[in-house]
Structure 1
Amino acid sequence: MINSVLNQRYEILEKIGDGGMAEVFRAHCRVLNRQVAIKALKQQYVNDAEFVRKFRKESSSAGGLNHPNIINIFDIGEELVEGKTVYYIVMEYVDGWTLKEEIVKKGKLSAQQVVVYGSQIAAALAHAHSHHIIHRDIKPQNIMITKDGIVKLMDFGIARTTNSQTMTMTSEAMGSVHYFSPEQARGQVTDEKTDIYSFGIVLYEMVTGQLPFDGDTPVAVGVKHIQGEFLPPSKWVPNIPVDLERIILKCMKTNPVQRYNNMDEILYDLQKVGSGNSQVDIDDDNSQTRVIPVQVREYDKVEQKPVRQVKKGESKVSNRKSKNVKKKKDRLMTILGVLVAFALVLGAFIVYQNVLKGGLGSNKIDVEVPKIIGKDKAEAEKLLKDVGLEFEVESTVENDEFEPGQVVSINNTAEGNKARQGFVVKVSVKGESDLVQVPDLKGLDEEAAQKIIEEKGFVPGEVKEEANKEIEKGKVITQNPQANEKVEKNTRIDLLISSGEEETVFMPNLDNVDINVAKKQWKMQGYR
């Protein structure tokens, strides 16, 4: 496959991945001059109609999804290469690594990083679910992380629409056993709740670096999913934020009914954990998911001593003690009454502030996160503040697709998601640089080119002319420095301008002609 060209367009450069049913290559698109990823079905499966159907279904499942946290599908094809049939999918190329690789490298991720990655995964799944696509194979191996920290969900190879038939263990591949849901293990109907369960396990693994269920065989692991007994994340990471653990445990409920209703709810709760200023509202119940308790030491039993009988002469003392106890109880009741009254007054004041005056922030509503990626920092901040959201630059990154100061990514939510007013949207922006990109002036007339040179902070340089039959007269043929080069401001830009097609003239044959006659013919041609 290396050095092959598919569809006279995609030049295969190198192999970058190998899965159960497909190989992945880095390729160059000659038409759009960009890098792409090519996923090719392995040769041992090309004659299996069922495998070919599954492979093609990946492009149809993900091809209709357009989201910054989902790998883009560009093309699909079938071609003979060296006499062998190649089924392939052309996808967005991601220069990065898998979430699994990051977990293995770091052991476990910080709670803040879990919220950042988790929010992006949740946003991607919410988008897929809104288009009635269930992934059904959510695992860290199917989640890419770019060098800028952007999450990309991929591999919709066993995805199904929400109106598909029941899946069984024997009818199709069920994804990775460590991450699939109890209903997948039973061969029951799968829906959005299946992805929610698997997402909970991914969160668990990010937080702890451990898998909640393991076993010697796939069947043994599947049984553990059904039984639903596992150590809580706090057993591995005692300082895990309580609300983050509650989110994980709710996602991993054995009974689908007791999980979150949808990914939007999870995203909303993750945003609250990320903001650190609001408690997650999760109903605790005794569901079928049983968390294995951590062992605690037994305390010694309290020795019961016999009750001493009151002697006859002690009755008055006992009465006095009883009266003293009664007085203390009366004083306590008085204090409690004052406290209750104070609480009622305080409650009335809060209600007045919140409801009648709209104070204390209770009038905040959920709003849609506006589109700010690619916007300048100031413009992005204004767009967010206009809808009641806060803006924070969390990091600066290098990215050739953006100008310095532009928003490259949102780190704790996504464009189009709902967020409560006051929520802090954390972003990464392209760092400011002393170098600027040279504009492309080719094909412009000289006046327009010089204007752009000055507007961009460069200095007009030397202008030369040259005959050129392809470039219209007065237009720029080439420039120095070349377009898109990174140079310092105030750099001089030289231009080569077309003088049009070189004029050709008829030269008379003057061989053996008298000199005087030759001069006359020469003048007749317009020459001196």
Structure 2
Amino acid sequence: MEAGKKLGGRYKIVRHIGSGGMANVYLGHDLILDRPVAIKVLRFDFRNNKDALRRFQREALSATQLIHPNIVGVYDVDEEDELQYIVMEFIDGTDLKKYIDIQGRVSPEKSIHIMHQVLSAVALAHKNRIIHRDIKPQNILIDNQDRIKITDFGIAVALSETSITQTNTLLGSVHYLSPEQARGSMATSKSDIYALGVVLYELLSGSVPFDGESAVSVALKHFQEPMPSIRESHPEIPQSLENVILKATAKEPLDRYATCEEMMEDLDTCLSEERRHEAPFMPVSLLQETKVLAPLSAEVVAKADLDKTLVSPPPSVKAEPIQEYESGREAAVGKKKRKKWTLVLFLLLLLGLIASFFFFFYNNQDADAVTVPDVSNMDQASARLALEDAGLVLGDITEEYSDEVEEDFVIETSPKIGSSVEAGDEIDLIISLGEELFMLLDYEGQAYESVLEDLRKEGFTIERTHEFSSEVAEGNIISQSIEPGAEVKPSETTLSFLVSDGNESYTMRDLSGYTRKSVEDYAGQYGLSLTVTEAYSDTVAAGLVVSQSLAGGTAFVSGDALSVVISIGPEEPQVVSFSRTITIPYLAAAVSEPASESSNSQGNENADSSSSNEPNHIVIYMQDEDHVISDVFREFDISADEVVTLNFRILEGSSASYRIERDGEVISEASELTQ
């Protein structure tokens, strides 16, 4: 699909960003809401494939049913010119597979943080009866803030080398395939849990647990070989964390976690000091003893066949003796057996006599004694009838709370059930008030881990969601699902807490070229404390950012201080004034007259030195801030020496010059004049 094409008159294709088993994904732009979107378009070769169309539509339906911060949101589903497409939330980041390839092994703490988000999303899907069936790092997106988004819900086809099919139905990407799927069974929610265990293994180790030359060989390993121990190659990982992987990836679904919430609760405490040295997880199916039957020998089989043909004669009929031909050794063995049976019969008779003696002794000792009947878990009326039938009388009634016996039913009697009492004695009953109600406190602002431990001891089911908060410290509770003061039964109550992830961190932009208004908008969007100052700049145009206190690319949180310097343009230099006083000499023009022969020499000298009184023509040129040297500054005539003062105005750092001509001849000039 070409860049620039519009779908639905609203979504403009920007560029191709990825391909899947049956769809291509493009970066698009929503022209109405002015935001980036991801557009998944069904490939051309699947348009006439009814199964592919059904799965593609199923993904759209599944995703629109799931609203969760860790599931990619679906904005629109449509068709144009036989193009089936889904418009989804665009995640500016990468998938978890590439993240692991780039980052390598992920620390246990960060792995648990990532898995919490994944488990929370998958748990919601399971509650909506939606099984992902293709959980793998390629379908888990992660942005620059380590926020997780799961995609491709409802899709079960991916035509890659690491996928296998059976009767045209995809069983899942083979490296994350559960044993039951590999055997051809239906995928269940526990199949997703198996895949989640493999993803956790890959996060911690940087590689998948099973690999092979073909998809089939990898699938066989999933149900034939035990899960490799991650601690053999990475002993620093605690056994309690490896146990989470082992339980999630147990071969038998019954040995795995029942729900994603259960796996999440196990992850909550797996790094605690109390669990650091716990024993390795062992599936229940492996703990059951296997009985091995020894094969029967030929002699035993032959004897069994003979025994089947023997029929004992009736007691009234005397059995005919059986002629036996046996050796002396066999005859001796037969006699020993008969003696042994005689001894056994004698002992049995003796025991019977002793038992009869004690029976008659105790029955005759107190003919009026009765046994307190078992009235536990009966209501009060039924218990009274049972006591009266036994010849006893109902005594006092007391009440107490019980987690095991339903309200208004008998917990115990006094004397105890089964005790021997006299007929007509009173029997007191202890009646259950049911499970004791627990009054919830206000847990907002408290440490989640501490509250979790206390409430679990009371029998509560605890759920946890996450949210960034600038007001509540990381790890503390922001809100609770049930109001403080409510009285509830712990065993029947699920309590949800919204827990703070602390201040959300962001990456600072390079604000070069931003206007003051743009900077103020940016600071307001992320809650920054902004300080703006102004300064001259010879390189940055007036009104634009010159510098910023938080460099572009650094991390910051809401509330951080940001100082920005805005250019007011280049600084205008100062004007300097000074003057120069110059004397312009007058030069009289000489006049020559012929001398007579009779004139004496004195007369000749006077005649030669005579001059004219004609004026000199003076032109002055000046160069400064207000004048240029090519223009005449002043022009006048003089008949005697003249004193002139030239006033200059120059910018600080520059210089002035002048030139004076007398009758067209330069008589004075100067340059590089400063104050």
Q: Give me the TM-score of the superposition, normalised by structure 1.
A: 0.57
Matches for 1:54-65 after TM superposition, within 5 Å:
54-65=55-66
Instruction: Report the counterpart of residue 477 of structure 2 in structure 1.
Output: 384
CA–CA distance in structure 2, aligned partners of residues 217 and 424 of structure 1: 44
Counting aligned pairs with the same residue, the percent is 36
Partner SS for 1:120: helix
Q: What amino acid is aligned across from residue 203 of structure 2 in structure 1?
A: M
Q: What is the 5 A alignment of 1:62-211? A: 62-80=63-81, 85-158=82-155, 169-211=166-208
SS for the counterpart of 2:171 is coil
Q: Cα–Cα, structure 1 residues 157 and 208, in superposed 2: closer, same or farther, change >3 Å?
A: same
Q: Note the residue ranges of structure 1 that are not aligned, 5 or more in a row.
A: 161-166, 291-359, 389-415, 441-455, 460-479, 492-528
Give, as a single letter, the amino acid of the residue that structure 2 aligns with 1:34: R
Q: Which amino acid aligns with 1:207?
A: L
Residue 94 of structure 1: how far off its partner (Å): 0.3
The SS at the match of 1:36 is: strand
Report what 2:235 is aligned to: 238
- Separation in structure 2 between the aligned mates of residue 281 and residue 268 of structure 1, nearest angstrom: 16
Q: CA 1:58–1:186 in structure 2 vs 1: closer, same or farther (change >3 Å)?
A: same
- CA 1:182–1:53: 2 relative to 1, 3 Å: same
Query: 1:227 Cα shift?
Result: 1.1
* 1:280 shift after superposition: 10
Please give the alpha-carbon distance, in whole angstroms, between the structure 1 residues aligned to 2:279 and 2:186. 26
Partner AA of 2:477 in structure 1: L
Q: How does 1:393-412 map to 2 (within 5 A)?
A: none
Give the letter aligned to residue 138 of structure 2.
Q
Post-superposition CA distance 1:460-487 (Å, at most 9, x none): xxxxxxxxxxxxxxxxxxxx99xxxx99
**TM-score in terms of structure 2 length:** 0.45
Shift of 1:201: 0.6
Corresponding position of 1:10? 11
Residues paired across the two proteins, number: 343
**Cα distance in 2, alignment partners of residues 201 and 125 from structure 1:** 15
Q: Which has the higher contact order (CA 8 A, sep 6+)?
A: 1
Give the C-alpha shift of residue 273 in structure 1. Answer: 2.9
1:250 aligns with 2:247: yes
- 1:526 match: none
Deviation at 1:489, TM superposition (A): 9.1
**Deviation (angstroms), 1:103:** 1.2
Aligned mates of 2:249, 2:151 — CA distance in 1: 22
Question: Residue 106 of structure 2 contacts residue 205 of structure 2 at CA under 8 Å; is this kept in 1?
Answer: yes
Match of 2:264 in 1: 267
2:52 paired residue number: 51
1:264-343 map, 5 Å: 264-273=261-270, 284-287=281-284
Asked if the contact 2:59/2:155 (under 8 Å) is kept, the reply is yes
Cα pair distance change 1:79/1:149, threshold 3 Å: same
Kindly report which structure 2 residues correspond to 1:499-518, keeping only aligned pairs within 5 A, or say none.
none
CA distance in 1, matches of 2:275, 2:477: 20
Question: Are positions 1:37 and 2:34 aligned together?
Answer: no
Larger radius of gyration: 2
Provide the alpha-carbon RMSD of the alignment: 3.9
In 1, are the aligned partners of 2:137 and 2:199 still within 8 Å (CA)? yes
Please point out which of 354, 364, 367 is paired with 2:455: 364
Counterpart code for 1:115: I
Rate the CA distance shift 1:88–1:74 in 2: closer, same or farther, 3 A: same
CA contact (8 A) 1:98 1:140 kept: yes
CA distance in 2 between partners of 1:432 and 1:79 (Å): 38
Secondary structure, aligned partner of 2:15: strand
One-letter code aligned to 1:65: L
Deviation digits for residues 294-351 of structure 1, max 9, x if unmatched?
xxxxxxxxxxxxxxxxxxxxxxxxxxxxxxxxxxxxxxxxxxxxxxxxxxxxxxxxxx
CA contact (8 A) 1:139 1:176 kept: yes
- Greater helix content: 1
2: CA distance, partners of 1:102 / 1:431:
19
Q: 1:364 Cα shift?
A: 3.4
My pick for the range that moved more, 216-225 or 267-276, is: 267-276
> In structure 2, do the counterparts of structure 1 residues 234 and 23 end up closer, same or farther at CA, with 3 Å as the change threshold?
same
What CA deviation, in whole Å up to 9, does each residue of 1:258-289 have, x standing for no partner? Answer: 00000001111112235667669999434568
Which residue in the other structure is 2:502 paired with? Answer: 427
Q: Is the 8 A contact 1:193 1:260 kept in 2?
A: yes
- Contact conserved, 1:273 with 1:280, CA < 8 A, in 2? no
> Residues 370, 261 of structure 1: CA spacing in aligned structure 2 closer, same or farther, 3 A cutoff?
closer
Measure the CA separation in 2 of the matches of 1:266 and 1:130.
15
For the structure 1 residues 282 and 121, does the alpha-carbon distance in structure 2 shift closer, same or farther, using more than 3 Å as the test? farther
Uncovered stretches (5+) of structure 2, i.e. residues with no partner: 158-163, 288-449, 482-493, 523-528, 533-542, 545-549, 551-561, 567-675
C-alpha displacement of 1:363 = 3.8
Tell which deviates more after alignment, 229-238 or 137-146: 229-238
Decide whether the 8 Å contact of 1:21 with 1:42 is kept in 2.
yes
Distance 1:224 1:370 in 2: 36
